[in-house]
Amino acid sequence: MTRINISPVTRIEGHAEVRIDLDETGGVESAHFNVVELRGFEKFLIGAAVEEAPRITPRICGICPTSHHVASALACDQIFGADIPDTAKYLRELLMHGQYVHSHSLHFFMLAAPDFLIGHEVPADERNILGLVKKEPEIAKKAIIVRKFGQRLTEAIGGKPIHPSSAIPGGMSHAITETQRTELLEMATEARTIAEECWSLARDILDKTDLSFGAVDTAFMGGTENGRYSVCGGTTNVIDTDGTPLSSFSGAAYLDHIEEYSEDWSYLKFSRLNDGRYYRVGPLARLNIVDTMGTPAADAALDEYRDKFGRCVQTTLAYNPARYIEFLASCERAVELLSDTSIISDEVRTPVDEVVNTRGVGIIEAPRGTLIHDYTVNEDGFMEKCNLIVATCQNNRAMDQGVFDVARKVVSNGTISESGKNQIEMVIRAYDPCISCATHAIGRMPFKCTIVPKRKGLMKKR
Ligand code: NI
């Protein structure tokens, strides 16, 4: 067999392929996570009025629009020199929690859970959300209820269920009403109950799984606010492979700590620390960095997680329970924020009128990891330079290494079993990569795995 294709491979967000090159004996010589799409938002934003960016950048992705929206608004606040009202800060935080609830529950219940609850040895056409509905109908029902809450929260605060538009330079375009607060609080409370009930499922999900899969040893980066878990606000922190703090920064200082680079096999950019070392972002990284989640059930879950995996966790598949703990924290925090009636205050915006700084850097923690929007404008506020660094680029190297690690274990004499293919995907899926965000891709999202034997010229024909 000269080439093996997995097509379509589902349950990742974007269009990607895995390429495995074999040596003469049919063993694995190299393996890459390979992204082949490009959109180019950073280029076509040049010349746009910067206040349009919070409305344009959510179109990068239908999965993570809120993260781009809020990061963009933060960069705009700096450019217009605005100190936003507290209620606007809380509304933006709530908007982010809506994104977390929606995105993390999508990943946990619908993308990752079928591997664990149905089993990776089961045929692909049964290993999906429909298979889950058949096998675990109650869990599937709960997943739909929490996702509905995340979507409704985004719609009520963001103005639209998918591409929110309410975060603007200086704050928010509208407040929420008491009727909305009551409705959302009821939904948040129900979501919190479900999140608490299903924690044991998430906690035990890896019990029968080989935890060495996709192993890499990296530093980590993530945001906190005085040691507390924070999705928007605070500082960005880097820790070493053993958890030792390395640095802490905010705003444009990120360039003193990380750098981007590219490889010739992928349109997806890579990031590394300025000293050349690799780091990871997202749930695993954030939970390695925080002292506390700041809410009771998530803190109790964090204790159990640390008892099981340790204080600084390198296990790639632990992204799954770590993500669940964040989902639980978002449900709890949403209840907290919505229980405070000051959230309906109509003081949601500081008026802005002129450019105060020609550069603004918005850094937030998106569900998949640290997200940076770096804008430079002219004195009239038109974009001159735009750099977006998304989570998937920062995890790119680790995903690539993880694919290589699993490929070496599951490819034998140039062949790979159905279960082996899915084990490669499980490692990629643990990171919940968003290819749409990372390359700004359009279209269907198949995934292809190609095994290329050692033969002169074949790789060039691909
Ligand atoms: Ni995305």
Q: Where are the alpha helices (DSSP H) in 283-390?
A: 283-289, 296-309, 319-339
Using the mean position of ligand 1's atoms as its centre, give its distance from the Cα of residue 24 in Å. Answer: 39
Ligand 1 centroid to 340 CA: how many Å? 31
Task: State yes or no: pLDDT of 440 exceeds 50.
Answer: no
Give the model's pLDDT for residue 8. Answer: 43
d(CA 195, ligand 1 centre) in Å? 23
Q: Separation of 455 CA from ligand 1 center, angstroms?
A: 37
> Distance between CA 50 and CA 337 in Å, rounded?
30
Query: Residue 257 is encoded by which pair of tokens?
Result: 């700590």
Distance 61 CA to ligand 1 centre (A): 5
Whole-number Å distance, alpha carbon 233 to ligand 1 midpoint, is 20
Mean of all residue pLDDT scores within the chain: 87
Lowest mean pLDDT among 240-244, 395-399, 448-452: 448-452
Domain coordinates in residue numbering, the chain: 2-438
Instruction: Please check whether residue 297 is in contact with residue 326, taking contact to mean a CB–CB distance below 8 angstroms.
Output: no
- Ligand 1 centroid–CA 387 distance in Å is 16
Residues 243-271 as b or e (16 or more Cβ within 10 Å = b): eeebbebebbebeebbeeeeeeebbbbbb
231: CA distance to ligand 1 center in Å? 16
Radius of gyration of the chain (CA): 22
What's the CA gap between 363 and 177, in Å, rounded? 29
Q: Token pair of 370, please?
A: 């640290």
Q: What is the C-alpha separation between 423 and 221, in angstroms, rounded?
A: 26
Residue-wise pLDDT tens digits, 303-349: 999 999 999 999 999 999 999 999 999 999 999 999 999 999 999 99
Each residue's pLDDT tens digit, 15-50: 667 777 788 787 888 777 766 545 678 888 999 999
Q: Could you tell me which of 265, 249, 97, 72 has the C-alpha nearest to residue 188?
A: 97
Distance 452 CA to ligand 1 centre (A): 30
Residue 8 C-alpha from the chain's centroid: 22
Cα-Cα-Cα-Cα dihedral sign, residues 426, 427, 430, 431: negative
| Residue 220 CA to ligand 1 centre (angstroms) | 20
Q: Are 252 and 374 in contact (CB under 8 A)?
A: yes
Angle at 294 between CA 290 and CA 438, to 5 degrees: 55
Distances (CA, A) of 1 to 24, 32, 450: 13, 19, 11
Per DSSP, the three-state class of 202 is helix
pLDDT, tens digit, 9 for 90 and up, residues 384-430: 999 999 888 899 889 888 888 888 888 888 788 877 887 888 888 89
Distance 235 CA to ligand 1 centre (A): 22
CATH no. of 2-438: 1.10.645.10
Which single residue is written with the structure tokens 């490009």?
38
For residue 249, the cross-strand partners are 236
CB atoms inside a 10 Å sphere around CB 184: 23
One-letter identity of residue 70? V
pLDDT of residue 321: 94
- In 3D space, the residue among 279, 186, 293, 193 whose CA is nearest the CA of residue 237 turns out to be 279
Calpha distance 452→300 (Å, rounded): 47
Q: Give distance in angstroms: CA of 410 to centre of ligand 1.
A: 30
Structure token digits, residue 58: 């959510």
**Ligand 1: distance of its center to the CA of 209 in Å?**
28
In angstroms, what is the span from residue 205 Cα to ligand 1's centroid?
25
pLDDT band at 192 (very low <50, low <70, confident <90, very high): very high
Which residues crowd ion ligand 1, with CB under 5 Å?
A: 61, 63-64, 434, 436-437
Q: Which single residue is written with the structure tokens 């239908």?
A: 62
Distance 27 CA to ligand 1 centre (A): 35
pLDDT score of 458 more than 90: no
